[in-house]
């Protein structure tokens, strides 16, 4: 996209129809989604998390496109609707990238648009994305992930303090935190001998100021990527449009991010899936997206390992694989934290669903990304499971059967009083060697043995 095209789009945030936020939610989102769900008779079986229904995929794509034509995108800053024509929507879909090289030199990695039951391995984009992390744990967590040979690309959490000072949005601490984050990432990559590995970073950039401060060759390189978010549901703001503008000439890659709420304004999984697909169609323009992140949030269980979120990720990945090939990267945010077996079972289930449905793997935000209870070990499992599923040529039916078995091993935690946060990094890992403590390694080995007994060829 050139600057003239982008500024034409931005102008719509000044001239579009003026609408109050509550009217947007009710009249544009709820009413239209519910009508389309009824028209297409969308429903879902909670024991079929990986559907094998071509008509569902066709209808979901058509309904999402119709939703975007009806609604457009709401600019929260100006209170106006930014509309796209049907022709623009179709052009954006036709121009979605099917290959994208991240990183540089011998560490470069090429993402591809994967297909349903694709035997090509998914990308393993590992880290603890967006997780608020104190500086004392920040670098050790990154190193624990970067040293895992199975990973292809690296991401990270967000710093909550720098030099003993709390980070605040839009203040000098945010700028320092973003640049400190980038310094830690490059330090880790250099230490593990993979300096050219591609990044999804500037996670400490809560505002556009932080994003601007990262755009420099020594920080966020043109071969790296940053987030351009759409809010729920079908909403952007000028801050994220500035993030898009920031990338146009500099060249860093744009990862669109939509966090549709399952059980929210779009209702259950089918309506929420329709919104997420429409968000991706819109992000082709407003985020100038090079690839798309799929991150559903369950209104009660939060985690992407809840049944409704698993169904959404599967249907979304399959829909694009069948109707409009694109690079879809799915966030994994389990409810459990390190030093719990449930975390590992959640990771395995989510990785199977995404891989067999045609997506790539990104994450993971252990303990719902709320606390720094993630480590490199569960990222290893994410990668090993995803690559095993592809290598085996696992079918959707086989995958669904295995995921149901895994759900039985972790689903109880959604009702568990106090949650299942597990332990912080410095309890799960030896801080000197940056290796798992024996108890955490033993849990991993036991879960791997269990997965092998289920038929997963790890």
Residue 271's domain spans which residues? 99-453
Q: Which residues does 151 contact at the CB level (< 8 Å), separation at least 6? A: 124, 125, 126, 145, 379, 383
Q: Kindly report the average pLDDT of the chain as a whole number.
A: 97
Confidence grade of residue 249 (pLDDT, cut at 50, 70, 90)? confident
Q: Is residue 33 part of a domain?
A: no
pLDDT at 133 over 90: yes
* Integer-rounded Cα radius of gyration of the chain: 21
Confidence grade of residue 6 (pLDDT, cut at 50, 70, 90)? very high
Q: Is residue 71 part of a domain?
A: no
DSSP lists the bridge partners of residue 112 as 99
Which CATH number fits the domain that encloses residue 375?
3.20.20.460
Q: Is residue 35 part of a domain?
A: no
CB-CB contact of 279 with 260 (8 Å): yes
Reduced to 3 states (helix: H, G, I; strand: E, B; else coil), residue 124 is strand
pLDDT at 1 over 90: no
Q: Is residue 219 part of a domain?
A: yes
The DSSP output letter for 168 is -
Average the pLDDT over 419-447 and give the result.
98
Q: Which residues does 119 contact at the CB level (< 8 Å), separation at least 6? A: 390, 391, 393
Does pTM surpass 0.75? Answer: yes
Quick: pLDDT tens for 187-239. 999 999 999 999 999 999 999 999 999 999 899 999 999 999 999 999 999 99
Domain count, the chain: 1
Q: What pLDDT is recorded for position 364?
A: 93
CA distance 246 to 242: 6
Q: Which helix (H) or strand (E) holds 361?
A: strand 360-363
Q: Is residue 89 part of a domain?
A: no
Q: Is residue 65 part of a domain?
A: no
pLDDT at 354 over 90: yes
Q: What pLDDT is recorded for position 259?
A: 93
Percent of all residues in the chain with a pLDDT value above 90, rounded to a whole number: 98
Q: Is residue 257 part of a domain?
A: yes
Quick: pLDDT tens for 283-338. 999 999 999 999 999 999 999 999 999 999 999 999 999 999 999 999 999 999 99
CA distance 356 to 257: 21
Q: What pLDDT is recorded for position 251?
A: 86
Locate 287 and state its tokens: 């985020």
Token pair 């959490």 in the structure block, residue = 157
Q: Is residue 424 part of a domain?
A: yes
pLDDT at 146 over 90: yes
Quick: pLDDT tens for 108-124. 999 999 999 999 999 99
Quick: pLDDT tens for 66-91. 999 999 999 999 999 999 999 999 99
């Amino acid at each position: 996209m050139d600057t003239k095209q982008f500024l034409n789009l931005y102008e719509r945030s000044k001239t579009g129809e003026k609408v109050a936020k509550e009217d947007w939610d009710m009249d544009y989102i709820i009413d239209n989604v519910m009508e389309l769900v009824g028209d297409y008779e969308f429903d879902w079986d909670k024991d079929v998390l990986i559907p094998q229904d071509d008509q569902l995929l066709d209808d979901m794509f058509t309904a999402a496109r119709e939703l975007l034509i009806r609604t457009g995108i709401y600019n929260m800053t100006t209170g106006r609707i930014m509309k796209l024509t049907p022709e623009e929507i179709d052009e954006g879909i036709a121009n979605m990238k099917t290959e994208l090289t991240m990183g540089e030199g011998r560490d470069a990695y090429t993402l591809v648009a994967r297909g349903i039951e694709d035997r090509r391995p998914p990308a393993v984009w590992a880290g603890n994305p967006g997780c608020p992390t104190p500086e004392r744990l920040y670098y050790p967590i990154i190193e624990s992930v970067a040293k895992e040979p199975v990973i292809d690309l690296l991401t990270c959490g967000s710093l909550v303090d720098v030099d003993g000072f709390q980070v605040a949005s839009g203040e000098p601490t945010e700028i320092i935190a973003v640049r400190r984050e980038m310094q830690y990432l490059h330090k880790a990559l250099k230490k593990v001998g993979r300096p050219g590995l591609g990044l999804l970073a500037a996670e400490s950039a809560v505002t556009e100021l932080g994003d601007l401060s990262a755009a420099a060759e020594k920080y966020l390189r043109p071969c790296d990527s940053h987030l351009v978010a759409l809010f729920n549901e079908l909403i952007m703001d000028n801050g994220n449009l500035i993030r898009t503008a920031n990338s146009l000439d500099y060249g860093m890659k744009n990862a669109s991010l939509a966090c549709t709420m399952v059980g929210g304004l779009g209702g259950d999984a089918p309506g929420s899936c329709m919104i997420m697909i429409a968000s991706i169609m819109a992000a082709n323009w407003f985020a100038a997206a090079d690839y798309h992140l799929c991150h559903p949030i369950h209104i009660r269980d939060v985690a992407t390992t809840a049944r409704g979120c698993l169904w959404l990720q599967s249907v979304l990945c399959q829909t694009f694989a069948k109707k409009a090939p694109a690079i879809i990267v799915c966030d994994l945010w389990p409810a459990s934290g390190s030093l719990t077996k449930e975390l590992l079972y959640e990771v395995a289930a989510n990785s199977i669903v995404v891989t067999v449905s045609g997506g790539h793997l990104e994450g993971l935000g252990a303990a719902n990304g709320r606390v720094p209870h993630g480590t490199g070990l569960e990222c290893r499992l994410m990668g090993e499971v995803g690559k095993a599923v592809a290598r085996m040529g696992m079918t959707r039916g086989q995958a669904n059967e295995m995921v149901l078995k895994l759900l039985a091993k972790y689903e109880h935690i959604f009702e568990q009083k106090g949650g299942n946060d597990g332990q912080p990094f410095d309890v799960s890992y030896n801080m000197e060697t940056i290796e798992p403590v024996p108890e955490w390694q033993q849990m991993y080995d036991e879960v791997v043995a269990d997965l092998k007994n289920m038929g997963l060829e790890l």
